[in-house]
Chain A
Amino acid sequence: MPARRSNTSRLRLHHLLVAPFASLLLVFFGVPLALVVVVSFFDLDQFDIIPTFVLTNYVELFGSSLTYTLYANTIKYAVIVWAITLVIGFTVSYFLVFHVRPFLLQLALFLLCTVPFWTSNVIRMISWIPFLGRNGIFNQSLIALGIVDQPLEFLLFSDFAVVIAYVHLFSLFMIAPIFNSMARIDPAVIEAAVDAGAGRFRVIREIVVPLSKTGIAMGSIFVVALVMGDFFVVKIMSGGQSASVVLAMSNETAVLQYPPAAASAVVLLLVVTAMVVGILRIVDVRRELAG
């Protein structure tokens, strides 16, 4: 009997231990999310929100071709940025883990990657404007060097600028998890592959990539979710010439169109969830983390 009692009391203790975090999650994540879902079914009459249950918001959302254009645009950004950050993240991690010898130097260089993050997102992004602008540093340098005679127009307020800013902002979210999983590869395993006759690229393909899968998956989730949820970078860096799902949503809330915005948010949440599930389907992160 005493054994059972201690068991139940231990169980109660476990509940007690997770309670603070669980309540935090409930109050600041669960409740607002539920509220968004509820509001997405409300009706809207001019600027009056009518608490009822209608599907108008969803019908209008799926009926509008703008929705599909916005998703196509946002997913395009997500895919391009994901591909570029993946290449950067993998290359930087590979270099740090396998080519930088003293561990302290490795750590120092890794921390160097985080230096840009010591300033705010907004400043980091806005600092691209004087650099890439029509009369910016980059264009002026090109002209001074005689490479072009007209300033390049596509550098700022374009898809190019948006992608540059995303890559700059989100690369670390790819580097950190890949670095982490790469650093855990036993060097003897790589040596065994070399012993078996694998050249450098075979080693990368057969050993390093498969054993970095967890990090690649985690980084991909971060980058995809961040790009899908962004509106600020698109707004500033495209100069209003491009839009994303969330930018449209933010415009709607700006004019107090809450129910359609809420419906849009619910759909985006489902799309991003589907993308994350898709990534996790390819890589079983939980199993790899446990192993």
Chain B
Amino acid sequence: MAQSGEIELCHLTKRFDRTVAVDAIDLAIPHGSYCCLLGPSGCGKTTILRMIAGHETPTEGDVRIGGESVVGLPPVRRGTAMMFQNYALFPHLTVLDNVAFNLKMRGVGKAERHQRAREMLAQVRLDQFADRMPSQLSGGQQQRVALSRALITNPRVLLLDEPLSALDEFLRLQMRGELRRMQKELGITFVHVTHTQLEAIAVADMVVVMDQGRIEQAGSAREIYTLPVSAYVARFMGGQNVLTGKVASVTDGIATLVSDTGERFSSPLNGQVVAEGDVLHCCVRRDRVALERVRRPPGALPEPTNAVVGAVHAIEYQGTYVKVTIDVPGREQFVANVVDSKFFANPVDIGDPVVARWVPEDVHLLTTSGQAGETHG
């Protein structure tokens, strides 16, 4: 464990035939952190993981672990261990031999490797299943076997490929807590690939949002969620409403934007220099939006400021809050998450005309549009 599990990806690129799976990525994952690679399927996150593991060779660029390039090294010499999607347990070996397999490959004697495998299984409370075959275990148990198998050699980096996707909802929540606890205990680097936003922000120290082979944003879970840099991240993470408009005027570092449909929004510029007529994107959190029912139909209202007007499209009760989706003519659907007590004090119904308002302080400027070629520190 003396070796550092710091991972650096330098201009890492992977092409399959003509398609670019990973496009010149730079990323540094500090030692002992829990990093989630998050993105829709086909965004290149699994390919990155496999290049770190040594199951895929980069077309260009470098992978460094603990400061040393590992490109060309076999997985064992990298100090990494991988937990595969669907676990890839050896179907012909008992649970005990599955866990002991790594040690067998390293020439550890039978008695010792079985002893250590039993200890490992005891840690995940599976010792009584040691003699079963993998097919006789439930999904959650198989997952713990896969985890034990990967961790038995004390790797400095654990790579997890969609580790929770094969589990049902209840187990998923339980296991993600377990993973987080194990990572803290072991103090090694975890790199976890997922397409589930809530999973990523729940466990990770560092979330890397990806799209089409590129990193959109890398940062802490809170940063990614509350301060997205691009409309893509804001939409993908799901907690935000994205607003787009042309700059009409700037006063005291606050721009007034006018949307295509005539609504006016204020957005802080955070020191960014803009000119009149520039198109800007900003976002406002769903839970910072207040709803108000209006009597007149939406078309009959004056153009609102820091608000949108529309008709309620759907209402979903979520326990602590109510998710209200609003159809706004001429733009994407707008979502307000209203605290349940507020909602039920003044409920709205599907089809009701409503005004969704927010204060300018809750608006966050998106600094990149999320299109290729634009980068921003």
Q: Which residues of A contact B88 (CB under 8 A)?
A: 186, 188-189, 191-192
Q: Which of B60-76 contact A (CB under 8 A)?
A: 74-76
Contact between chains at B85 and A197 (CB < 8 Å): no
**Is B48 among interface residues, defined by CB-CB distance under 8 A?**
no
- Give the distance in Å from the alpha carbon of A213 to the alpha carbon of B92 in the complex: 10
Q: Which residues of A contact B102 (CB under 8 A)?
A: 196-197
Chain A interface secondary structure, helix, strand, loop or mixed?
A: helix
Please count the residue pairs between chain A and chain B whose beta carbons lie under 8 angstroms apart in the complex. Answer: 58
Chain A nearest CB from B87 CB (Å) reads 8
Interface centre among B53, B91, B150 (most CB of A within 10 A): B91
**Is B296 among interface residues, defined by CB-CB distance under 8 A?**
no
Chain A nearest CB from B89 CB (Å) reads 8
Contact between chains at B91 and A197 (CB < 8 Å): no
**Is B82 among interface residues, defined by CB-CB distance under 8 A?**
yes
Task: Answer whether A194 and B74 are a contact pair too, CB < 8 Å, given A188-B85, A202-B105, A291-B135.
Answer: yes
Contact between chains at A197 and B90 (CB < 8 Å): no
Interface centre among B74, B84, B88, B150 (most CB of A within 10 A): B88
- Give the distance in Å from the alpha carbon of A211 to the alpha carbon of B76 in the complex: 23
| Interface band, chain B | 20 to 34
Contact between chains at B92 and A211 (CB < 8 Å): yes
Instruction: Fill in one digit per residue for A202-246: 1 if any B CB lies within 8 Å of its CB, else 0.
Output: 100011001101000000000000000000000000000000000
| Interface band, chain A | 10 to 19
**Is B101 among interface residues, defined by CB-CB distance under 8 A?**
yes
Chain A nearest CB from B40 CB (Å) reads 21
Q: Which residues of A contact B106 (CB under 8 A)?
A: 197
Q: Which of B12-58 contact A (CB under 8 A)?
A: 53-55
CB closest chain-A residue, reference B92: A210
**Is A195 among interface residues, defined by CB-CB distance under 8 A?**
yes
Which of these, B74, B76, B90, B104, contacts A192 with CB under 8 Å?
B90
Contact between chains at B92 and A194 (CB < 8 Å): no
Interface residues of A (CB under 8 A from B): 186, 188-189, 191-198, 202, 206-207, 210-211, 213, 291
Query: Can you list 9 A-B contacts with CB-CB less than 8 angstroms, sorted by A residue number?
Result: A186-B88, A189-B90, A191-B88, A192-B88, A192-B89, A194-B55, A196-B76, A197-B76, A197-B106
